[in-house]
Structure 1
Amino acid sequence: MKRAFLLRALTIAVFALVAAFAPAKAQTMDKVSFGTNWVAEAEHGGFFQALADGTYNKYGLEVTIVPGGPNNNNRILLIAGKLDFFMSANSLQSFDAVTSNVPLVAVAAMFQKDPQVLLTHPDIKATKLEDLKPLTLLVSKEGMTTYFQWLKSEYGFSESKVKPYTFNPQPFIVDKKSAMQGYVTSEPFAVEKAANFKPGVFLLADYGFNTYSTLIETRRELVEKKPDLVQRFVDASIIGWYNYLYGDNAAANAMIKKLNPEMTDELLSYSIDKMKEYGIVDSGDSLKNGIGAMTDERMASFFDKMVRAGVVRSDIDFRQAYTLRFVNKGVGLDLRPKN
Structure 2
Amino acid sequence: MWFHLALTLVAAVLVLFAPSARALDKVVLQLKWTHAFQFAGYYAAVEKGFYREVGLEVELREAVPGLDPVEEVLSGRAAYGVGNSSLLLARSAGKPVVALAVVFQHSPVVIMAREYEATQGVHNLIGKRLMVEPQSDELLAYLDQAGVPLDRVEQLPHSFNPQDLIEGKVDAITAYVTNEPFFLEQAGVPFHLYTPRSVGIDFYGDNLFTTEQVLKQGPERVRAMREASLRGWRYAMAHPEEVIDLIMAKYSQRHPRAFYQFEARQMVPLLMPELIEIGYMNPGRWRHIADTYADLGLMPRDVSLDGFLYEPDLKADLKGLYAALVLLLGVSAIAFYIHRVNRRLALALMESHEAHEALSRSEERHRLLADHASDVIWTMDLQGRFTYVSPSVEKLRGYTVDEVMRQSLDEALTPESAPIAVDGLSRAIAAVQAGLPVPDFRAELEQPCKDGSTVWTEVTVTGIRNESGVFVGLLGVTRNISERKQAEAKMLHMARHDPLTGLPNRALLADRLQQAMAAARRDGQVLALMFIDLDKFKPINDSLGHAVGDVLLVEVARRVRNCVRESDTVARIGGDEFVVLLRAVDSESGALAVADKIRVALGQPVCVGEHRLGVSASIGVAMFPAHGEDDLALTQHADIAMYEAKARGGDAVYVFRAGEAGVA
Tell me whether 326-335 or 39-48 shows the greater mean CA deviation: 326-335
C-alpha RMSD of matched pairs (Å): 3.8
Q: Percent identity?
A: 19
| 8 A Cα contact 2:112 2:173, kept in partner | yes
Of 116, 141, 147, the residue aligned with 1:156 is: 147
Question: Against the structure 1 CA distance between its residues 73 and 199, is the aligned structure 2 distance closer, same or farther, given a 3 Å change threshold?
Answer: closer
Of 266, 284, 287, the residue aligned with 2:275 is: 287
TM-score (norm 2): 0.42
**Partner residue, 1:219:** 211
| 8 A Cα contact 2:109 2:174, kept in partner | yes
**Partner residue, 2:408:** none
Cα distance between partner residues in 1 of 2:222 and 2:125? 46
Q: Residues 165-223 of structure 1, C-alpha deviation per residue, up to 9 Å, x if partnerless?
A: 66565786588xx76542111111111122x2564444434652222221111121332
Cα distance between partner residues in 1 of 2:123 and 2:143? 10
| 8 A Cα contact 1:107 1:323, kept in partner | yes
Trace 1:201-240 onto structure 2 (pairs within 5 A): 201-205=193-197, 207-240=199-232
Of 108, 118, 123, the residue aligned with 1:115 is: 108
Aligned-pair CA distance for 1:228: 2.4
| 8 A Cα contact 1:189 1:270, kept in partner | yes
| 8 A Cα contact 1:52 1:251, kept in partner | no
Of 118, 137, 147, the residue aligned with 1:146 is: 137
Is 2:196 the partner of 1:193?
no
Of 27, 30, 40, the residue aligned with 1:45 is: 40
User: Per the alignment, in what secondary structure is the counterpart of residue 274 of structure 1?
Assistant: helix
| 8 A Cα contact 2:131 2:173, kept in partner | no
Cα distance between partner residues in 2 of 1:143 and 1:212? 16
Trace 1:121-132 onto structure 2 (pairs within 5 A): 131-132=121-122
Q: Residues 55-113 of structure 1, C-alpha deviation per residue, up to 9 Å, x if partnerless?
A: 2223343322222323655544422334321222x1213422431x2222112122212
TM-score (norm 1): 0.76
Aligned-pair CA distance for 1:267: 1.3
Cα distance between partner residues in 1 of 2:304 and 2:110? 26
Counterpart of 2:265, as a letter, is D
Counterpart of 1:98, as a letter, is S
1 or 2 for the larger relative contact order (CA 8 Å, sep ≥6)?
Answer: 1
User: Per the alignment, in what secondary structure is the counterpart of residue 15 of structure 2?
Assistant: helix
Counterpart of 2:222, as a letter, is V
Unaligned runs of 5+ residues in structure 2 are 313-429, 442-459, 461-664
**Partner residue, 1:258:** 250
**Partner residue, 2:95:** 102
Count how many residue pairs are aligned between Structure 1 and Structure 2.
Answer: 317
**Partner residue, 2:123:** 133
Cα distance between partner residues in 2 of 1:133 and 1:110? 31
Q: Residues 198-251 of structure 1, C-alpha deviation per residue, up to 9 Å, x if partnerless?
A: 644444346522222211111213323432222221121112112111225525
User: Per the alignment, in what secondary structure is the counterpart of residue 233 of structure 2?
Assistant: helix
Question: Against the structure 1 CA distance between its residues 115 and 298, is the aligned structure 2 distance closer, same or farther, given a 3 Å change threshold?
Answer: same
Cα distance between partner residues in 2 of 1:298 and 1:94? 12
Aligned-pair CA distance for 1:23: 3.2
Cα distance between partner residues in 2 of 1:300 and 1:334? 22
Cα distance between partner residues in 1 of 2:40 and 2:239? 12
Trace 1:75-90 onto structure 2 (pairs within 5 A): 75-88=70-83, 90=84
| 8 A Cα contact 1:122 1:200, kept in partner | yes
Aligned-pair CA distance for 1:158: 3.9
Unaligned runs of 5+ residues in structure 1 are 1-5
Of 60, 76, 93, the residue aligned with 1:65 is: 60
| 8 A Cα contact 2:88 2:290, kept in partner | no
Of 289, 300, 303, the residue aligned with 1:314 is: 300
Q: Residues 243-265 of structure 1, C-alpha deviation per residue, up to 9 Å, x if partnerless?
A: 11122552565246533331332
Question: Against the structure 1 CA distance between its residues 172 and 57, is the aligned structure 2 distance closer, same or farther, given a 3 Å change threshold?
Answer: closer
Question: Against the structure 1 CA distance between its residues 84 and 258, is the aligned structure 2 distance closer, same or farther, given a 3 Å change threshold?
Answer: same
Aligned-pair CA distance for 1:275: 0.6
Counterpart of 2:186, as a letter, is K
| 8 A Cα contact 1:116 1:205, kept in partner | no
Question: Against the structure 1 CA distance between its residues 265 and 297, is the aligned structure 2 distance closer, same or farther, given a 3 Å change threshold?
Answer: same
Aligned-pair CA distance for 1:37: 2.3
Tell me whether 316-325 or 106-115 shows the greater mean CA deviation: 316-325
Trace 1:290-301 onto structure 2 (pairs within 5 A): 290-301=277-288
Aligned-pair CA distance for 1:322: 2.0
Of 223, 239, 263, the residue aligned with 1:247 is: 239
Counterpart of 1:295, as a letter, is N
